[in-house]
Amino acid sequence: MSVYQHQQQTLQVESVAVPDIVAAVGSPVYIYSTRYFVERYRALSAALSNPSSPGPAARIYYAVKANSNLSVLRCFHDLGAGFDIVSGGELQRVLAAVGDPDSVVFSGVGKSIADIDLALKLDIHCFNVESPAEQERLSDRARLLGRPARIAVRVNPDVDANTHPYISTGLKENKFGVPAELALEMYERVAADEWLEPIGIACHIGSQITDPEPMLQALTSLLNLVDVLAGRGLDLDHIDLGGGFGVVYDDEQEFDVADYGARIGAALEGRKLTLSIEPGRYLVANGGILVTRVEYLKPGRGNDERNFAVVDAAMNDLIRPALYQAWHRVETVCSDEQRPEATRAHWDIVGPVCESGDFLAKERQLTIAPGDLIAIHSAGAYAMVQSSNYNSRPRPAEVLVEESTFRVVRRRESSEDLIRPELLGR
């Protein structure tokens, strides 16, 4: 499904040469592929609606936090996706992009009164409730506004997803969800609350999961709760298994969505529950690159000294390597290695931010010269959305490619953009 290829030694995204994009919009720049997003979504949808799978049809809610660009949201809406949000700001983005609050599921442990009120007034599809305190607040606001709320309790099944501790969410030491016993108590209170309508049950155990087995363990836990609730006279409409499907950055195992779909379908056979999932990274990560230009080369003078390639992107544009020790594939945009001015070595790709942790990649063998363009892959998820203006650096433009054309879907920030909200006291 690769949308990246070299033509005449120049990297292309779909049928557009990367240097043509940089010539038009500058660097650094995030570049996304429409074709990748479409093909990835359709492959996942097909795996979850396999005719040989006996379970009910699934609904895909794209996790907005992975990449919240309005054009990306519109792309997934047009494919049939709903949206999983974790803030009022993300809800506003969905409204601006597609204007469909009924397609929204609201997750997250810290929903503010303002967030809840906005979502209630817009009548979103469902709140994933993560604590008794949130449930009480939601009930109070629903009663005050005269707007009943549809809810699902998010259960923490205490299942180890075997992933990075920062992106594990299904263990009892994680802040997300509630234990099974507490979930049952919450549903009992909901049953007596005229302003809360229980329609589902939810969980999400982490991200970058390569083995579906922990997800199946979580499903088993949720189905046990569903059966207990049914025995108490409470029948739910859907079961939400979250997202977390792993993607390949380096040599990881690709998550087998076909096997996952078949096994989930078998587990749900005979039940009337609709399956909901909330993928984000899986749909967009490898559909984007961050392109940056080499400003300076600082080769070491001895075998024990590192070689630094200083580029115009930085940790504020892609924080994952510094935050998660994440690995991103790096390649030169123009692959002609016969140039006399280029130096072949193992380079640390570093930015201009005043931090020793400002690196994008380490010890990568490249043949490069000042002025060269470098593509950092897997930047479609958790790149722009985690970016900042640290060191008063304007954030890059975002570009969306579709076949042989491209368009800017977020313009590059200016220094004036950064200063404009501030007030100078007297």
44 and 162 housed in the same domain = yes
Helix, strand and coil percent figures for the chain, each rounded to 5: 35, 25, 40
- Domain match, 183 and 262 both: yes
Indicate whether 61 and 13 sit together in one domain: no
Which pLDDT tens digit goes with each residue over 336-388?
777 888 999 999 999 999 999 999 999 999 999 999 999 999 999 999 999 99
Task: pLDDT band for 226, please (50, 70, 90 cuts).
Answer: very high
Digit-coded pLDDT (tens) for 43-82: 999 999 855 555 556 899 999 999 999 999 999 999 999 9
Query: Residue 323 belongs to a domain with what CATH number?
Result: 2.40.37.10
pLDDT at residue 115 above 70?
A: yes
Residue with tokens 């953009």: 417
* pLDDT band for position 169 (cuts 50, 70, 90): very low
What pLDDT does 162 receive? 52
In a domain, 426, yes or no: no
In a domain, 173, yes or no: yes
In a domain, 425, yes or no: no
Whether residues 267 and 297 share a domain: the answer is no
Backbone conformation region of residue 256, classed left if phi is above 0, alpha if psi is from -120 to 50, else beta: beta
pLDDT at site 171: 44
User: The dihedral of CA 66, 67, 70, 76: what is its sign?
Assistant: negative
Which range has the worst mean pLDDT, 186-190, 196-200, 262-266? 262-266
Top mean-pLDDT range of 165-174, 208-217, 254-263, 323-332: 323-332
10 Å CB burial of residue 99 (0-12, 13-18, 19+) is exposed
Instruction: Provide the residue type at 81 as one letter.
Output: A
Q: Which domain holds residue 152?
A: 33-283
What's residue 1's pLDDT?
60
Last residue of a domain, one of 225, 260, 283: 283
The residues with which 365 forms a beta bridge, in sequence order, are 346
Q: Which range among 188-192, 322-326, 404-408 has the greatest average pLDDT?
A: 404-408
Same domain, yes or no: 310 and 411: yes
Whether residues 18 and 159 fall in one domain: no
User: Average pLDDT, stretch 113-128?
Assistant: 98
What is the count of structural domains for the chain? 2
Tell whether 260 is covered by a domain.
yes
Final residue of a domain: which of 234, 264, 283? 283
H or E element at residue 58: strand 58-63
- For residue 68, is it within any domain? yes
Q: Do 129 and 60 belong together in one domain? A: yes
Instruction: Pick the last residue of a domain from 283, 306, 332.
Output: 283
Examine the domain organization and report whether 134 and 247 are in the same domain. yes
- 219/273 Cα distance (integer angstroms): 12
261 lies in the same domain as 312: no
Q: Which residues are catalytic?
A: 354
Q: Tell me, yes or no, whether 8 and 40 share the same domain.
A: no
Same domain for 117 and 248, yes or no, is yes
Residue 210 within a domain: yes
Mean pLDDT of 403-411: 98
Please indicate, yes or no, whether residues 263 and 321 belong to a single structural domain of this protein.
no
In a domain, 424, yes or no: no
DSSP string, 238-267: EEE----B---SSSPPPP-HHHHHHHHHHH
Cα distances (Å, whole numbers) of residue 144 to 112, 117, 149: 15, 10, 12
Report the Cα 28 to chain-centroid distance in Å: 21
What pTM value is reported for the model? 0.93
Residue 283 in tokens? 């749909």
Give the CATH number, domain containing residue 84: 3.20.20.10
The rounded mean pLDDT for the chain is 92
**Mean pLDDT value of segment 11-36:** 98
